């Protein structure tokens, strides 16, 4: 299960993300480093699908101009 999730994340990062960038017409969109997909790969590996996935989802929700500064546990 965890392996599948990691594969899907990698497929997103390598294949879907560049296509999405082109469809939206913007090259850079990531507000934080590591990018959310990299963050998700690291944390699904470390904390599992549920906690790692939840953290990643939270991080994506922080990726907008009105968000407060990123909490420590979502930084890297």
Partner 1 sequence: MNIFSIFNLVLVHPIINALVLIYHLLVSLHVPYALGFSIILLTVIIRAILYPLIHSQLKTSKKMQEITPHLNKLKEQHKNDAAKLQSETMRLYKEHGVNPLSGCLPLLIQLPLIWGLYGVLQQVVKTDPKAVLAYVNSALYSPSLKLTHMWDTSFFGLSLGQTPSHLLSSVGFLILLIPAATGIFQLIQSKMMFAVQEDKMKDVEKDAVKTKNKALVKEVKKEDDFATAFQNQSLYIFPLMIAFFSWTLPVGLSLYWNTFTIFGILQQYQISGLGGLESWIKKINPNR
Identify whether the C-beta of residue 41 lies closer than 8 Å to the C-beta of residue 2. no
Instruction: Name which of 37 and 44 has its Cβ closer to partner 1.
Output: 37
Instruction: Name which of 2 and 22 has its Cβ closer to partner 1.
Output: 22
Q: How many CB atoms lie within 10 A of CB 52?
A: 22
- Does residue number 6 form part of the binding site for partner 1 (CB under 8 A)? no
Q: What six digits make up the tokens of 20?
A: 């999405």
Q: What six digits make up the tokens of 68?
A: 């407060």
- Does residue number 72 form part of the binding site for partner 1 (CB under 8 A)? no
Which residues of the shown chain bind partner 1 in the complex (CB under 8 A)?
A: 13-15, 18-19, 21-31, 36, 60-65, 67, 76
């Amino acid at each position: 299960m965890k392996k599948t999730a990691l594969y899907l994340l990698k497929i997103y990062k390598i294949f879907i993300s560049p296509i999405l960038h082109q469809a939206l017409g913007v090259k850079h969109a990531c507000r934080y480093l590591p990018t959310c997909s990299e963050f998700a790969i690291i944390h699904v590996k470390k904390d599992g699908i549920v906690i790692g996935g939840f953290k990643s989802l939270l991080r994506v929700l922080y990726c907008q101009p009105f968000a407060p500064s990123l909490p420590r546990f979502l930084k890297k």
